[in-house]
Amino acid sequence: MPSRLQAPTIDVATLPQRTGIDRYRIQDVDISRSMPIATTPMGFVDAWLQARWFQASQWSAPSHLGELHAVHSAIDALCGPNHTNYPLINYKAARSCSGSPPRVQLQMDEDIYRGNTNKIQRINRLFFIVGKGNNSFTILSASSSPNPACTGPNTLTGP
């Protein structure tokens, strides 16, 4: 039986919590997390970014694993336990995409607060395309440019 919980996000400024789902599959001696892991595309991207790559890769489009691994590693270096600056991650927008299968584009801004200069520096803006399946999500791609097919209204709400 899956359990729902309030999980912290990496966007502590504007969206400090999300509804997470803990669901595990036991097969022989292996235990693995299984879908669903989140209730929204934003929650899914957040869970994907916080997961270790061996788990996150299972929730990623096989055709984009190299690109997605690079994005995942960069965020992990920024927000993981060994970071040296103060990362500011902000989820800015979630927009539906036209076409099929159902997809959502999530915009995420990455800034760094540099304590020695007291300045915030924008280091990246990413657009994740999240595929919506039956009771699951998949990271399809990540890009520094928005997808022109994703022009729906912003459905991301604040805390």
109-154 pLDDT, tens digit each = 887 766 666 677 777 889 999 998 877 889 999 999 999 999 999 9
Q: Are 30 and 55 in contact (CB under 8 A)?
A: no
Q: What is the CATH number of the domain that holds 47?
A: 3.10.450
- Asked which of 11-20, 26-35, 72-81 is least confident by mean pLDDT, the reply is 11-20
How many domains are contained in the chain? 1
Q: 8-22, 53-67, 85-99 — which is least confidently predicted? A: 8-22
Residue 103 falls inside a structural domain: yes
On whether residue 33 sits in a domain, the answer given is no
Residue 12 falls within a domain, yes or no? no
Q: What is the mean pLDDT of the chain?
A: 78
**Weakest-pLDDT range from 1-15, 67-81, 125-139:** 1-15
Give me the pLDDT at residue 9, please: 60
Output the CA–CA distances (angstroms, integers) from residue 128 to 3, 61, 137, in the order listed: 26, 12, 12
Measured over all CA atoms, what is the biggest interatomic distance in the chain, rounded to whole angstroms?
A: 53
- Do 72 and 49 contact (CB within 8 A), yes or no? yes
Q: Which two structure tokens, joined as six digits, stand for 52?
A: 């270790």
Q: Are 59 and 72 in contact (CB under 8 A)?
A: no
The answer on pLDDT for 17 being more than 70 is no
Per-residue confidence (pLDDT) for residue 86, from 0 to 100: 60
